[in-house]
Chains A and B, each alone.
Chain A
Amino acid sequence: MPDPRLRPVNGGTAHSLVSLRGIAKHFPGVIANADVDLDIRAGEIHALLGENGAGKSTLMNILTGIYQADAGEIAIDGKPVRFGSPLDAIAAGIGMVHQHFKLVQAFTVAENIHLGWGETPRLASARQLEARTAAIAEKFNLAVRPDARIHALSAGEQQRVEILRVLARDARVLILDEPTAVLTPSEARELFKALDAFRKSGNAVIFISHKLHEVLEISDRVTVLRGGRKVATHETKDCDHRMLAGLMVGREIVLGNYRDRSAEPGNDARPTVLELRNVCADDQRGLPALRNIDLAIRAGEILGIAGVAGNGQRELSQVITGIRPLVSGEILVGGKAVSHQDAAAFAAFGIGHIPEDRLRSGLAPSLSIDDNVVIREYKTDAVSRGPFFDPRAANRLARTIAADAEVAIPDFGMPVRNLSGGNQQRLVARREIRIARKVLVAAYPSRGLDIGAINTMLRYFVELRNQGVAVVLISEDLEELLSLSDRIAVLYEGRIMSVFDAESADMETIGLLMGGQTAAAPATSGARS
């Protein structure tokens, strides 16, 4: 039971629930956090904003006891605390919902709620646990089905279970890491309603995001991190898109000049390299994921694909790289219709693919770096003689690619999963750029990279485009899309809501389209819905 003395006075003024002072955390060769001060007040939703690698996750891992700070102090209700483990943080009323849910898929909702919890009755039937769960759900006004198994739930429902699990343990500070990334717009609205209720009862929410419109909509205050340091904390009502974006990246407009190009033919004059005609495709579960997609990808352009994750991006990238079969419609590669989807043939044509989840499909984690890096070129003379595979030649090619990717590798025979996520991503990107003579499909290419590496990668994309390669850039980061793309297509529930020239696009319109609203869009080149 929570100590009643610790309960904040509802409606009280600037009561500081959590305060971090001078937090620092170093990893070998990296400063993850330095000198970070942060105050979380009772009754507020505090947004934590920053690019990938800005130090948001490290800071939250320190606050939840997963990491220990190298310097600095944490105080709860003004009293200094030291968290040796996540259990200490939970006991102090701090709970976190991670971006990747940590639920047992085969267990029911009730079992997940009660797992690893001191208040779980020692002997309890499934029905008792479900009754307890129903009572907790009612208390916090979060509807769940206690007897449902996790794998049968949607992402939104799973998230609700995660939140409930944290709240059931009497959390007063709820940390949410990119909570809307997996949600549909309506689920996101539900979440916001629940967060609002939680805030009104005198608790606090830390909301990690890089979606500016959400931050502006839901939060009371915003803290921006960059390069591991705190840049600023502002009242949300004093902020706007442009200002927050500028604070995040430290420049007025990121990479703004990338779209500049010297005298070149306009969009319509460039030849089409890849074309989708009325394409429909299913997702992994056999449900429709792409609906009647018409899309022409032209040489020498960067085509941005905007949309909330899970609206068909994965399937789109698989369809245009030959991995996923079509249900109907056709694909023209270099003007010729392909009879069946064959990823090797697409790659041989010159289509590279940086997949959204490198460990799931881009790499074979348990195999050596050599084996992983040559997967696109093992059939070429560089690695093979006829049917024979030459491991030494593979090693030579791997060394070349690693050098180009600026990844230092002590042992090319070690499993690729031993590399850091950022280095894995660089190797995959370099490997794919090498074969992308016609098209490069890049899904969330900046994930896991620091700002410097992101800039290097984006510059590669621009170089490729200038050489006449078509780049399809799938991203959630509107800043990135707007600064880089020549045209932007918006995906919503498997449909292309609109395609427009990036110059005439603005974030608000794209945001509306991403949410499925077909409000007046400046459709300049063939908007389709």
Chain B
Amino acid sequence: MSWRLQRFPSPKPSVALAVRAVAILLALVVGGLVVAVSGLNPFALGNQVMKSTFGSSFGLEDLGLLATPLILTGLAVMITRRIGLWNIGAEGQFYAGALAAAAIGLFVEGPAWLMLPAMFLAGVAGGMAWITIPTLARAFVGVNELITTLLLNFVATLLVYYFATGPWRDRGAGTLGSTPRIRYEMPELWGMVHWGFAIAVVLTVLAAAVLSFTRWGYEVRISGANPENALYAGIPVRRRIIAVMLLSGAVAGVAGMLEVAGTVHRLQGGISNNFGYLGIIVAVLARTSCLGVFAAAALMAFILNAGIILQTQGLTTSAIVALTGLVLLFTAIGDEFAHYRLVRADRATA
């Protein structure tokens, strides 16, 4: 009796989940090996990371603080996946949202209860504005959104550098390469964790509900899975693409606004901390599930936090960026393997 591997059109959900766990484990093993090769004890370091993260409320607060933007950028990418597109530009939209929110925070005066919503709306508008060109190019001319959204990231990054180090720079005694402190701050929810965390959670649950339990969400699903099928049923695919992409940009923009108003309190170059790119990994790990976004964002936050802790041990942050890359790589490989199952070969096959 012989067996052979056969590719099935769709993986079993349980297998797909197990594959993710194995991928994360493998990434940690490879990461640990690299640490060992560089002469450090991976188990001791791991122990220290676990203790500093989960041993104190400080560690958990850090985790919450890091998870907030990751949930939102992950959500931004996941939303476009639902309609079969990739928003690689959450990074740029994050910057654009942060820039717009900072502009309001720096140059408009008013009571905090009014200014924070105003900054929120500015963040939404900034993120949407930054994805507008890729959206229209995709919807009307069929230009690949992967490339347009990616390229605009660099524009946004440099634009924020320009404002933070140029016209808006802090002329007082202070910090180099950032704007003065913005007066309007997100109130704190728990320790250092601000209300932005709650906003991220609520937005994610809301988006998941809209996508699963509305007619609009159903139409988005069909449009994403097979645009020709959507046109056959009379679903306006182009309008759905525009709405979904703008929504995605808005969510990433909110992430940028929250980072300015909740965590950094200034606009500075590099403020995104790669959150936009890490959002891609979050979305890939989460597939299309809302709960998955929380879990994947928590994992990424843990890895980033571990990087901060390990810096004190002489490891560079790029080692941690490499770890996130390994997670993505192994997941992508695993996803392909999840399609295969062992089946009993036809007995006539020699």
A-B contact pairs, 6 of them (CB 8 A): A68-B348, A343-B233, A360-B226, A364-B230, A389-B215, A414-B10
Q: Which of A215-223, A230-238, A373-381, A501-509 contacts B (4 or more CB under 8 A)?
A: A373-381
CB of B226 within 8 A of CB of A387, answer no
Q: Which of B22-30, B68-76, B217-225 contacts A (4 or more CB under 8 A)?
A: B217-225
B142 interfacial contact with A, CB 8 Å? no
CB-CB contacts below 8 Å: A414-446 with B: 414-415, 417-418
B218 proximity list for chain A (CB < 8 A): 371, 378, 389
Closest B residue by C-beta to A379? B215
Q: Which of A132-140, A251-259, A345-353 contacts B (4 or more CB under 8 A)?
A: A345-353
Q: Out of B8, B212, B225, B235, which one reaches A366, CB within 8 Å? A: B225
B312 interfacial contact with A, CB 8 Å? no
A414 proximity list for chain B (CB < 8 A): 10
Closest A residue by C-beta to B230? A364
Distance (Å) between the CB of A223 and the closest chain B CB?
Answer: 23
CB of A375 within 8 A of CB of B213, answer no
Contact with A along B177-189 (1 / 0, CB 8 A): 0000000000000
CB of B233 within 8 A of CB of A363, answer no
B215 proximity list for chain A (CB < 8 A): 378-379, 384, 387-389
CB of B9 within 8 A of CB of A347, answer no
CB of B212 within 8 A of CB of A417, answer no
A214 interfacial contact with B, CB 8 Å? no
Distance (Å) between the CB of B340 and the closest chain A CB?
Answer: 15
CB of B214 within 8 A of CB of A362, answer no
User: Cα distance A414–B218 when bound, in Å?
Assistant: 16
B348 proximity list for chain A (CB < 8 A): 68-70
Among A321, A364, A387, the one with the most B-chain Cβ atoms within 10 Å of its Cβ is A364
CB of B214 within 8 A of CB of A343, answer no
CB of A389 within 8 A of CB of B214, answer yes
B222 proximity list for chain A (CB < 8 A): 364, 367, 371, 375
A288 interfacial contact with B, CB 8 Å? no
Closest A residue by C-beta to B228? A361
B232 interfacial contact with A, CB 8 Å? yes
Interface size on A, residues (CB 8 A): 40
B10 proximity list for chain A (CB < 8 A): 366, 414-415, 417-418
A378 proximity list for chain B (CB < 8 A): 215, 218
CB-CB contacts below 8 Å: A329-378 with B: 342-347, 353, 355, 360-367, 371, 375-376, 378
Distance (Å) between the CB of A433 and the closest chain B CB?
Answer: 16
CB contact under 8 A between A346 and B221, given known A70-B348, A389-B214: no
Distance (Å) between the CB of B260 and the closest chain A CB?
Answer: 34
A322 interfacial contact with B, CB 8 Å? yes
B213 proximity list for chain A (CB < 8 A): 388-391
Closest A residue by C-beta to B211? A389
B230 proximity list for chain A (CB < 8 A): 364
CB contact under 8 A between A388 and B234, given known A367-B225, A375-B222: no
Which of B's residues lie within 8 Å of A, judged by CB?
A: 8-10, 212-218, 221-222, 225-226, 228-235, 346, 348-350
Closest A residue by C-beta to B236? A344
Closest 5 CB pairs of A and B: A344-B234, A68-B348, A343-B234, A364-B225, A364-B226
User: Cα distance A322–B346 when bound, in Å?
Assistant: 47
CB of A363 within 8 A of CB of B229, answer yes
CB of B214 within 8 A of CB of A388, answer yes
Distance (Å) between the CB of B229 and the closest chain A CB?
Answer: 5
A241 proximity list for chain B (CB < 8 A): none
Distance (Å) between the CB of B247 and the closest chain A CB?
Answer: 16
Distance (Å) between the CB of B13 and the closest chain A CB?
Answer: 9
A82 interfacial contact with B, CB 8 Å? yes
Q: Out of B214, B232, B346, which one reaches A68, CB within 8 Å? A: B346
Q: Out of B229, B234, B346, B349, which one reaches A364, CB within 8 Å? A: B229
Contact with B along A53-82 (1 / 0, CB 8 A): 000000000000001111000000000001
Q: Out of A69, A322, A344, which one reaches B235, CB within 8 Å? A: A344
CB of B232 within 8 A of CB of A355, answer yes
10 additional A-B residue pairs with CB within 8 Å, beyond A82-B350, A384-B215, A387-B216: A68-B349, A360-B226, A361-B232, A363-B229, A367-B222, A367-B225, A375-B229, A379-B215, A389-B212, A390-B213
A323 interfacial contact with B, CB 8 Å? yes
Distance (Å) between the CB of A382 and the closest chain B CB?
Answer: 13
A2 interfacial contact with B, CB 8 Å? no
A246 interfacial contact with B, CB 8 Å? no
CB of B235 within 8 A of CB of A417, answer no
User: Cα distance A121–B226 when bound, in Å?
Assistant: 41
User: Cα distance A365–B221 when bound, in Å?
Assistant: 12
Distance (Å) between the CB of A331 and the closest chain B CB?
Answer: 15
Distance (Å) between the CB of A26 and the closest chain B CB?
Answer: 11
A343 proximity list for chain B (CB < 8 A): 231-234
A84 interfacial contact with B, CB 8 Å? yes
Contact with B along A156-179 (1 / 0, CB 8 A): 000000000000000000000000
A389 proximity list for chain B (CB < 8 A): 212-215, 217-218
CB of A387 within 8 A of CB of B234, answer no
Distance (Å) between the CB of B11 and the closest chain A CB?
Answer: 10
Among A67, A84, A322, A366, the one with the most B-chain Cβ atoms within 10 Å of its Cβ is A366
Q: Out of B9, B212, B231, which one reaches A391, CB within 8 Å? A: B212
CB of A371 within 8 A of CB of B221, answer yes
CB of B214 within 8 A of CB of A84, answer no
User: Cα distance A317–B320 when bound, in Å?
Assistant: 56
CB of A360 within 8 A of CB of B228, answer yes
CB of A367 within 8 A of CB of B221, answer yes
B350 proximity list for chain A (CB < 8 A): 82, 84
CB-CB contacts below 8 Å: A373-415 with B: 375-376, 378-379, 384, 387-391, 414-415
